[in-house]
Chains A and B, each alone.
Chain A
Amino acid sequence: MFGLTKRDTTLLLVVAVLTIFAPFILNPFPEGSAMAQFNAGYPDLMQRLVIFGIFAIGFNILFGLTGYLSFGHAAFLGVGSYAAIWMMKLLTMNVIPAIMISVLVAGLFSLLVGWISLRRSGIYFSILTLAFAQMSYSLAYSVLTPITGGETGLQPKVNDPRILDAALTEGQNPRANLFGLEMGTSYEMAVGGWIFTFNAGYYIAAIVMLLAFYLSIRIFRSPFGMMLRAVKSNQQRLNYTGLNAKPYTLAAFVISGMYAGLAGGLLVAMDTQVGAERMFWTASGEVVLMTILGGAGTLIGPVLGAGFIKYMENIVSKINKTVLEQWFAFMPDGIEDFFITIVYPFVGKGWHLTLGLLFMMVVIFLPGGLVQGGQKVAGLFKRKKPVDDKPDGKTTPAE
């Protein structure tokens, strides 16, 4: 289907079903129950899950396929966001032009950065991209304040020109919409103790994510993707066969930059504001984290990684001392205090500590990320099968 092999179609369908039913899947606990804080089915978080999924899918096209580790991808996200917000300020609050321009601007910017950075490889490439991202961040914070809003950032105001939209009266808030359908519109469905929220913005982002995912599958399976993998495995040999790797890597870089811009534009579409901190180099580190955690170079890995990190970030940082006390309340007092003391540094404000540890663990023990972990677990069960089969006397010939 759609020019995909059977396996890839299944994968795409599984992801599609998961995203469509996410409001149910992420809300497994009834409202008001003790576990309700683990529910992730609220629009803001769900939007973030899919948007950062797009960001990571794009990053994976560069890092997973070519092996070029960029430490500056947040810059493209930021540039895309700024472009989108200016579209909303000047043209219309409709999200379509905003997202289109964000992809375009991020693509152009990544073309410039990539054209320069890709002259070098390895650690030099990482540092060059890092330098560019830090430069953009510093500029956005200081000199470019008229364009970027500096420290305060930007958001659409009532009296912005907005050529295509009807003028808003005082007191009306400019809201991002898709031909009148506001991004914040939600339909709440109450079933028993559960409340499921279906948010317009989420579904728009989810559809974009599915398209992005589909495109990434096509890239992975195309001759172009093959070429990128060749760059990763042995660039020298590629050169000796008379092929110039640069156009391929540059194309991969620009594509992943456009993905980042798309994510930036969507972020603005959902939550109409931008700040320069979005471009800080730790934000670039975060997308590297998502990709590695999920499994670089795999199709589903980045989506998993992005979802996992954003989910954990939201949920773990919400756990505070009172919650911990509730959890461990069944224990005797002394032991309860002991456990709370142990766990407390890792939750709530200590979320980054957990993240750092998790990240180290993954790099040390599972360089292939969650996907590799899953395969290992699956492998454990698979290996048992031939043992079970043997008594039957059936042996399969070696392929």
Chain B
Amino acid sequence: MDAILLQILNGLDKGSAYALIALGLTLIFGTLGVVNFAHGALFMIGAFCAVTLSRILTLSHTVIDETQKDFLGNPLKVEVPYIYDIFGQTTGDAIIDWAVPLSILFAIPVMVGIGFAMERGLIKHFYKRPHADQILVTFGLAIVLQEIIKYFYGANPIPTPAPDAFRGSFDFGAMLGFDPNTIIYPYWRLVYFAFAAVIIGAVFAFLQFTTFGMVVRAGMADRETVGLLGINIDKRFTIMFGIAAAVAGLAGVMYTPINSPNYHMGMDFLVLSFVVVVVGGMGSLSGAVLAGFLLGILESFASMAIVLETLPGINQIIIYLVAIIILLTRPRGLMGRKGVMEE
């Protein structure tokens, strides 16, 4: 029982990332009808927003500290972040420590901006082109974005730690009445899951309970009629693209402490997210979220020692295998709607 629970928990953080990226992909597909291969790159850019902010916060100038001496007996030169000058040392340290959560505030405008630019500048011209062209152009864009990041940040992963308060793990099992030390779970993964749940909830609430969301849903169902009613649906869809980009970006920001960001992390996630979207059902938001968590958890079950003994290597291929089976038996995906992308 505890082993099962542990695997479910382990699957949650990857599942959350899959779900968030797949949610954004589905939003874009559902609204604009575009297959966005650059979505993984948006995830990666989000992660690098966190890196950028923590670099900005630690920008320093050199101060000569008369009270300390270095080994030659000269006054010690100390690097002092500018932020100390503004907020004082204690607050400054706290801000630097909380750089990753703070990046959320930084990443939202950046990602929405990138989303707008992408949609208006490029994707707009591809609505009427075949899906193959959309795939290819966004694939090219993904390469370009990835290489730009590589040029500025280098090819190595950049460790970006979580705030001190969330480092380390805690005994989750003991809280639920299992034996101590059976289920040890890192704090940050729980934070990530909670964060993902909040974002997913927020997106759904936004679509379900606001007038804007209602119009967007109507547009997803029948774009032309909504347009005929005198509503500028293109503008709203552009905004949805921005939101989808922001969702991917935030997923990236919060993922940095789990996995140090590098320039190709987006591509690694993208392939899997596509599989997630297809398994969930093209155009179905709840399907994408469900499939994201499901596949994340399945993957972690497949990496259990017992499973690996009987089926070696299954953890590497389980997601693809599930996708193949689903596509062949339920071509519409788990929760796909009728009439969406059924060729």
- Residues of chain A having any CB pair with chain B under 8 Å: 67, 69, 116, 119-124, 126-128, 130-132, 134-135, 138-139, 141-144, 281-282, 285, 288, 292, 345, 350, 352-353, 355-357, 359-360, 363-364, 367
Contact = CB atoms under 8 A, between A and B. Distances in A.
A142 B313 contact: yes
A282 B317 CA distance: 18
Given A69-B135, A122-B131, A130 B271 contact: yes
Given A120-B327, A124-B343, A364-B137, A142 B147 contact: no
B3 to A, nearest CB: 23
Nearest to A288: B136
A359 B38 CA distance: 14
30 contacts: A120-B343, A122-B131, A123-B35, A124-B331, A127-B275, A127-B278, A128-B323, A130-B271, A131-B275, A131-B324, A132-B324, A135-B320, A138-B313, A138-B320, A141-B316, A142-B312, A143-B313, A143-B316, A281-B271, A285-B139, A288-B136, A352-B143, A353-B144, A353-B151, A356-B140, A356-B144, A356-B146, A363-B133, A364-B122, A364-B125
A113 B149 CA distance: 35
Contact of A124 (B135, B321, B327): B327
A356 B136 contact: no
Contact of A359 (B140, B331, B341, B343): B140
A360 B271 CA distance: 20
Contacts of A128: 323-324, 327
A367 B324 contact: no
A191 to B, nearest CB: 40
B327 A353 contact: no
B255 interface: no
Interface string B271-289: 1001100100010000000
A141 B343 CA distance: 34
A127 B317 contact: no
A130 B341 contact: no
Given A285-B139, A288-B136, 5 more contacts: A119-B328, A122-B131, A131-B324, A139-B316, A359-B139
The residue among B146, B313, B328 with the most chain A CB atoms within 10 A of its own CB is B313
A143 B140 contact: no
B324 A143 contact: no
Given A143-B312, A288-B136, A135 B317 contact: yes
Nearest to A362: B140
A69 B136 CA distance: 10
Contacts of A142: 312-313, 316
A340 B183 CA distance: 56
Given A122-B131, A142-B316, A135 B321 contact: yes
Contacts of B132: 67, 69, 126
The residue among A120, A141, A363, A364 with the most chain B CB atoms within 10 A of its own CB is A363
B143 A359 contact: yes
A130 B274 contact: yes
B162 interface: no
Contact of A134 (B148, B320, B328): B320
A171 B323 CA distance: 49
Counting chain B residues whose Cβ lies within 8 A of the other chain, the interface size class is 35 or more
Contacts of A357: 140, 144
Contacts of B258: none
B135 A126 contact: yes
B260 to A, nearest CB: 21
Interface of B: 35, 122, 125, 129, 131-133, 135-137, 139-144, 146-148, 151, 267, 271, 274-275, 278, 282, 312-313, 316-317, 320-321, 323-324, 327-328, 331, 341, 343
Contacts of A143: 312-313, 316
Interchain residue pairs A-B with the least CB separation, the first 7? A143-B313, A356-B143, A138-B316, A353-B147, A360-B140, A356-B144, A359-B140
A360 B328 contact: no
Contacts of A127: 274-275, 278, 323, 327
Contacts of A352: 143, 146-147
A35 B3 CA distance: 65
B39 to A, nearest CB: 14
Given A132-B324, A134-B320, A282 B147 contact: no
Nearest to B144: A356
A141 B317 CA distance: 11
B331 A120 contact: yes
The residue among B136, B271, B328 with the most chain A CB atoms within 10 A of its own CB is B136
A67 B343 CA distance: 13
B343 A121 contact: yes
Contacts of A130: 271, 274
A363 B130 CA distance: 11
B151 A122 contact: no
A131 B275 CA distance: 8
Given A124-B331, A363-B133, A132 B320 contact: yes
A139 B313 contact: yes
B320 A131 contact: yes
A345 B278 contact: no
B119 to A, nearest CB: 15
Nearest to B278: A127
Contacts of A353: 143-144, 147-148, 151
B155 to A, nearest CB: 9
A292 B317 contact: no
Contacts of B341: 122-124
B321 to A, nearest CB: 7
Nearest to A143: B313
Contacts of B129: 367
B41 to A, nearest CB: 10
A142 to B, nearest CB: 5
A357 to B, nearest CB: 6
Contact of B133 (A122, A285, A356, A367): A367
A367 B94 CA distance: 53
Contacts of B151: 345, 350, 353
A345 B150 CA distance: 10
